[in-house]
A and B are shown apart, each in its own frame.
Chain A
Amino acid sequence: MDLNIRIAGEAGQGVQTTGNLLVRAFAGLGLYVFATQSYMSRIRGGVNWFDVRIGDRELFSGRERADLLVALSPGALEALRGEVTDAGVVLFDGAGAPGVQSLAFTETATEVSGSAQLANTVAAGAVFGLLGYEIDKLCDPLAVQFGKKGAELVAGNVRCARRGAELAAALAASVAAPRPGGAPGDVCSGSEAVGLAAATAGVKFVASYPMTPSTGVFTFLAGAADEYGIVVEQAEDEIAAVNMVCGATYAGVPAMTTTSGGGFALMAEGLSLAGMMELPAVVLLAQRPGPATGLPTRTGQEDLAFALHAGHGEFPRALFAPGTPAQAYELTRRALKTAHRFQTPVIVLIDQFLADVQKNTQPLDRSLRPIDRHVVLDPAPDYVRYAVTGDGVSPRALPGSGPFVVCDSDEHTEDGHITEDLGVRVRLQDKRLAKVKGMTAEALPPEVYGPTDPGARGDECPARPESLPRANSTRPPQPPGAAGAETLLVAWGSTYGPCREAVDILAAEGRSVALVHFAQVWPLDAGAVRPLLTGAGAKRVISVEGNSTGQFASILRGAGAIDTCDRLLRYDGMPLTGEWIAERILR
C-alpha cells in the first residue's frame, strides 16, 4: 500500500523544510519515498505544497490527490481541500470546518518552544503521530537538520514534534499507514544526482547563470567545488557561460553549464561553436513550460525538439533524458564520456519534476573517477587538430603540449585555419558528421517495462533498482513485457516513473500494457527501435509526453521508427502521474 501526504502553505511557512524533514524521517524508517514539490514563483505568500508519498514497495510517481493534507494556511486549505481522497484526512491550523481536523500548530509551537515559527515541526510531529510511527525516528533527523543552529533550537523542535504527535494521536481521525520495510535509507534528488555525477566524473569547470529549475544542479556543484576541486563561476549571462565552457574544454578540462529553456536559447550559437570546433561541451537543460518565461517553477518536456535542433548549421550531438535520479547519475557521466569520446556537444535533459523529485536510491558512488578525455598528450610536431579520419574523430591535443592547437569557428582546414576552399569545406563537414555513425552504434537502446517481466521490477531487484539497458549488447533488447502487449506506452525522460506506474495500474485492471522508455533520445537507431514499437503486435502505441504537441512522437516518425501513434499529453505545468495516465487510457 501507499499513502500520499501533502504539506501545504504559503511560501516562507517552511513547507519545504517540513517536507524534507519527513522525507528523511520516512526513509530512515525504511519506507519507500517519492516526494515532489509544487511551488509558485515567489518567495512569500501564495500556495506551495510538498507531496511525500510513502509505500511498502518502490515508488516511481507522485499522485494527483492526497490521503493526508496538512494545511498550514487558510489559502492552502481552500485551494487543496478538493484534492483529497474520499477516505482522506485534513489537518488544519485553525478553527474547524466540516471534515477538517483542527490542530493548533502555531499556538502549540508558541506554547511549547516560545516560537510560532516552529509550527511546521508540530505539523510534522502530528503526521508521525497520526500514522502511528515512532516519534523518535522524526527527532533524529531534526537533530541533523537543526544541529548547526544550536542545541536549544534542536530541543525546541523535538518538544514541538513530540507534542504534535500527542495531539494527533488524540484525534478521532485515523489513517492506514504502510509498514516500514527495507527501502534504501539514501534519498536523492535529480539535481543532486546530476551534480554528483558531474563532480565524480572529473568536471573541473562549471559556468552557469542561475535559472529555475536548473539552479539546484548549479548550487550542488558550488557546494561540491571544494571537495572535488572544481571552479564554479556565475557567468554574466548564458552566452558567456557556454563560451566559457567552450574555452575550458579547448584548454583541456571537462566542463559543463546548467540552464533552462530561455537560457539555453541564448546558448544556441555557442552550442554550434562546440559542434564546429569539436569541443566536448556538456549542457544540463532543466525544462520548464514556455514559451518565453512561461511557468518558471512548473514542469514540462517542451524543449526536446529545440534541444535536438538548437544551433545553426549541422553538427552531431547526443541527447540524454534520464527517468529517475539514479539514471540521472549514470547518464550525466555517460553524457560526459560521450562528449569526450566523440568531441561534440551533449545535452542532458531533465525538468522541474525530476530536478526536485526525492526518491530512495542505492547509495551513489561519491568517489572521484575521472573520465577519459581521449587526448593525445605528446602530439607529433606535424600535428593538426582536425585530421580527417575514418570515424570522424580526430586526435585531440591540448594547447601548451607542443605543436599549436588551432581552432576556428569559420570553416577550416585540417590544421584549423580559416578557409574558403569549398572542397575542404565538404571534406571537413563530412568528417564531422561521420561521428554520427559511431554515436548511433553506442546509443542506449530503450528500456522495456512490462508487468510480466520480473527482471525489470526494481522492487524485487534491490541491488540495481533502476538498471539501464546496456549498449552494444549482442542481441537487440528483448521485450518480455512488450511481446504481446496490446498497448505500448512510449516515453522519454522523466515520464519513465509515471508511465511505469500506469502500466502497473492498468495491468491490475486486466489490461495488456507495456512501456518503452528512451533514456537516450538522440541519436536514434530507427532500425533497431522500429521492430520494438511496431513488430510486437501492439494494437495501440501511445506517446506519453509533458508537452502539447507530442514532440517525441514526431521525432520517432521523422526518424522512421514508427508510422503513426496516439499521443497522451499533459502541459498544465504539473508532473504526469501513473493514475493520471491510467485514468485516461481506461476512459
Chain B
Amino acid sequence: MMTQWPGSSPAWCPGCGNFSILKTLDQAIDAAEIDRRRLVLVSGIGQAAKLPHYTRANVFNGLHGRALPAATGIKVANHRLEVVITSGDGDLYGEGGNHLIHAMRRNVGVKVFVHNNQVYGLTKGQASPTSDRGFVTKIQTHGVILQPINPLALAVVEDCSFVARSFAGAPDHLLRTMTEALSHRGGLALVDILQPCVSFNRVNTFQWYRERVRPVEDSHDPFDRDGALKLALQQGDEIPIGVIYRSRRPSFESQLAVLAGKSLCEHFEEERR
C-alpha cells in the first residue's frame, strides 16, 4: 500500500512549461514500469527543483547546484534505487556546472532532466547560462554578452552515455524521450528539456520554440559521435530534438566490484547482523 501524499498546489505560474514536464514525467515513470517505492527524485533549488514535491516518490530536495553529487551518493549507497534528477538550467548548468562535467566522466547511473527555460525564474528574471546573447534583464541591462553554454555539445564531447533534447510543448515527444532515458541502463542520461518561462522570458516562448524544434531524423545513428556533435552544435533557427548521442561506456557502479552482488546498504545490513 503506497502512501499518497495529499499534495499542495504547485508554486508555478499558470501556463508554466513545468506543468507539462510534471505530467509527462508521471506518465514516463509508469511507461518505464518504475516502482515508485524505489524511485528517488533529486533536485537542487529553483522553480523546476520543486517538482519532486508534486508527485509520489522518495525525495531529496537538496542545495542549489548540488543535485548531482547528492544523487551520486544515493546511487552508490543503494544502486537498486532509481535516481532521477529534475532541476533547472541555473541549477545544473550554472551553480552545479562543475558537477555536471565530472558526473558525465563518472557516468553514474542517474537520469538528469534539465528544465531549460533560459532564465532564472525563482530569483525573478536574471540571465541563465543558456540565455541567448542580447537577452536583456534587470542585471544584464545592456543584454547578455556571454556566449550561452551548449549542454548537448558538452555532453557529446564528454562522451556522456545518453544525450537527448525535448520540448515541454511537445508532450508525445517528451514522453518518448523521457521513457527512453529512464530505461537507459548504461550510466548517466542527460535530457535537456526546452521549457518556456511565461513570466520572465518573453523571447523564448512556446511559439518561438514550436517554430524552431525539428525532430532528429530516423536515419541519425546516436552512436555516431561526429554526427551527434554536428546535431548538438545546431542552434538558432533549427533546434534538433530527440536522442542525439549514446555511448557504450560502463556505468560507474558497474565497475565497482563491491557492488557486483549487493548494494552497499545490503552489505552493511548483512555485516551488522
Residues of chain A at the chain B interface (Cβ within 8 Å): 202, 204-205, 207, 225-226, 229-231, 233, 235-237, 239-241, 243-255, 269-270, 273, 277, 368, 370, 372-373, 381-383, 398-400, 402-410, 415-418
Contacts and interface: CB of A to CB of B under 8 A. Distances in A.
A370 B268 contact: yes
A269 to B, nearest CB: 6
A247 B73 CA distance: 4
A214 B49 CA distance: 34
B265 A250 contact: no
10 contacts: A205-B73, A239-B69, A251-B73, A254-B268, A273-B63, A277-B62, A381-B2, A399-B78, A408-B59, A409-B62
A400 B78 contact: yes
B58 A400 contact: yes
Given A398-B265, A400-B80, A270 B58 contact: no
B256 A231 contact: yes
A253 B75 CA distance: 11
Interface residues of B, number: 49
Interface string B58-69: 111111001011
Nearest to A375: B269
A233 B77 CA distance: 12
Contacts of B99: 236, 239-240
Contacts of B80: 400
B109 to A, nearest CB: 13
Contacts of B58: 399-400, 404-406
B256 A237 contact: no
Given A402-B37, A407-B60, A248 B74 contact: yes
A245 B271 CA distance: 20
Contacts of A255: 73, 77
Contacts of A372: 272
Contacts of B140: none
Contacts of A252: 77-78, 265, 268
Contact of A231 (B60, B66, B76): B76
A409 B57 contact: no
B81 A400 contact: yes
Interface of B: 1-3, 5, 8, 36-38, 40, 42, 45, 50, 53, 56-63, 66, 68-78, 80-81, 98-99, 101-102, 256-259, 264-265, 267-268, 271-272
Residue among A207, A233, A243 having the largest count of chain B Cβ atoms under 10 Å: A243
B73 A404 contact: no
A247 B42 CA distance: 9
Contact of A247 (B5, B56, B77, B102): B77
B73 A246 contact: yes
A408 B268 CA distance: 25
Contacts of A230: 258
B131 to A, nearest CB: 24
A409 B49 CA distance: 11
Contacts of A247: 42, 60, 62, 69-75, 77
B256 to A, nearest CB: 6
Contacts of A241: 69
B217 to A, nearest CB: 36
A251 B66 contact: no
Contacts of B63: 243, 269-270, 273, 409
Nearest to A202: B268
B77 A240 contact: no
A254 B42 CA distance: 20
Given A244-B69, A246-B62, A237 B98 contact: yes
A243 B70 contact: yes
A409 B99 CA distance: 19
B59 A409 contact: no
A404 B99 CA distance: 27
B78 A205 contact: no
Residue among A237, A241, A269, A407 having the largest count of chain B Cβ atoms under 10 Å: A407
A542 B72 CA distance: 47
B62 A243 contact: yes
A224 B112 CA distance: 32
Residue among A247, A248, A273, A399 having the largest count of chain B Cβ atoms under 10 Å: A247
Given A253-B264, A399-B40, A409 B74 contact: no
Given A231-B258, A239-B69, A381-B1, A410 B268 contact: no
Given A231-B258, A250-B60, A244 B70 contact: yes
B59 A404 contact: yes
Nearest to B252: A233
Contacts of A251: 40, 73-74, 77-78, 81, 265
B262 to A, nearest CB: 9
A406 B7 CA distance: 12
A409 B45 contact: yes
A583 B131 CA distance: 65
A368 B270 CA distance: 12
Contacts of B257: 226
Contacts of B268: 202, 204, 252-254, 370, 373
Contacts of B272: 202, 370, 372-373
Contact of A400 (B37, B59, B69, B102): B37
Given A246-B62, A417-B8, A382 B73 contact: no
A249 B268 CA distance: 12
A372 B272 CA distance: 8
Contacts of A400: 37-38, 58, 78, 80-81, 265
A305 B178 CA distance: 48
A409 B61 contact: yes
Given A244-B73, A251-B73, A255-B73, 11 more contacts: A231-B76, A231-B259, A239-B66, A252-B78, A270-B66, A373-B272, A400-B37, A404-B56, A404-B58, A406-B5, A408-B59
A408 B265 contact: no
A370 B271 contact: yes
Contact of A407 (B2, B36, B61): B61
B81 A273 contact: no
Contacts of B70: 243-244, 246-247, 250
A412 B271 CA distance: 34
B61 A418 contact: yes
A183 to B, nearest CB: 34
Residue among B45, B69, B76, B265 having the largest count of chain A Cβ atoms under 10 Å: B69
Q: What 5 pairs between A and B have smallest CB-CB spacing?
A: A247-B73, A251-B77, A243-B69, A248-B73, A244-B73
Contacts of B2: 381, 403-404
Given A229-B267, A255-B77, A403-B3, A244 B72 contact: yes
